[in-house]
Amino acid sequence: VFRIAMQLVGLLLSLLGWVLSIITTYLPHWKILNLELNEMENWTMGLWQTCVIQEEVGWQCKDFDSFLALPAELRISRVLMFLSNGLGFLGLLVSGFGLDCLRIGERQQDLKKRLLILGGVLFWTSGITALVPVSWVAHVTVQEFWDETIPEIVPRWEFGEALFIGWFAGFSLVLGGFLLNCVACSAQAPPASGHYTAAEVQTQCLHL
């Protein structure tokens, strides 16, 4: 029961991290810009578009015209976030077939253990792949914010909500994969059900 519970906790954490990673990829709040001269106008920037929020007009967004014209951190962040989402999806499929509560392949415990370990590794990789672009964009934002060569009157970009969601998503994926690997490597696989056990006993008796 403890083994199955830990598997489900690890899978749910990984699922939560994967969903949040997808939200982070498309959320246009990686950076925010508040204008002191005009408090009724706020700017946000994501991987795909820039948005402006005005009290009179409302929410308006514009997609980036060129991928190559983007800063390096945004270009590579797109690729890494797509890779993170894909690895997370593969991890869900692989680790799902390795769960003990799934009766498919119940007699092949070694295969289920390998699938569970592989799923955990995929979640690990997905989490790290999500943490790298989020941390990189945060690092560049901090550097630009404290850049002394830029006049103080020029507005500075700050952390957006998507960065915090991305950090939480990455850590959830890493923790979920860690739990799955620990359960698969430390705990012994449960015995097969009574039906398969009885069949194996009858086979051994026939050979005797």
Per run of 10 residues, the mean pLDDT along the chain (length 208 residues) is: 86 96 94 75 90 81 89 93 96 87 67 89 95 96 87 84 96 94 71 42 36
**Domain presence at residue 49:** no
Q: Quick one: pLDDT at residue 112?
A: 84
How far is residue 130's CA from residue 118's CA, in Å, rounded to a whole number?
18
Nearest in space to 48 (alpha carbons), one of 25, 76, 80, 81: 25
Q: What is the CATH number of the domain that holds 163?
A: 1.20.140.150
* DSSP structure class, residue 188: P
pLDDT of residue 106: 60
- Whole-number pLDDT of residue 104: 62
User: How many structural domains are present in the chain?
Assistant: 1
pLDDT of 199: 40
In a domain, 177, yes or no: yes
Residue 20 falls within a domain, yes or no?
Answer: yes
In a domain, 89, yes or no: yes
Q: Which amino acid is at 50?
A: T
Q: pLDDT at position 59, please? A: 83
pLDDT at 205: 29
Handedness of CA 130, 63, 33, 152 (dihedral sign): positive
pTM: 0.82
pLDDT value of residue 147: 84
Which domain, by its residues, includes 110?
Answer: 2-31+70-192
Query: What is the torsion angle, in degrees rounded to the nearest 10, for the CA atoms of residue 35, residue 61, residue 165 and residue 160?
Result: -10
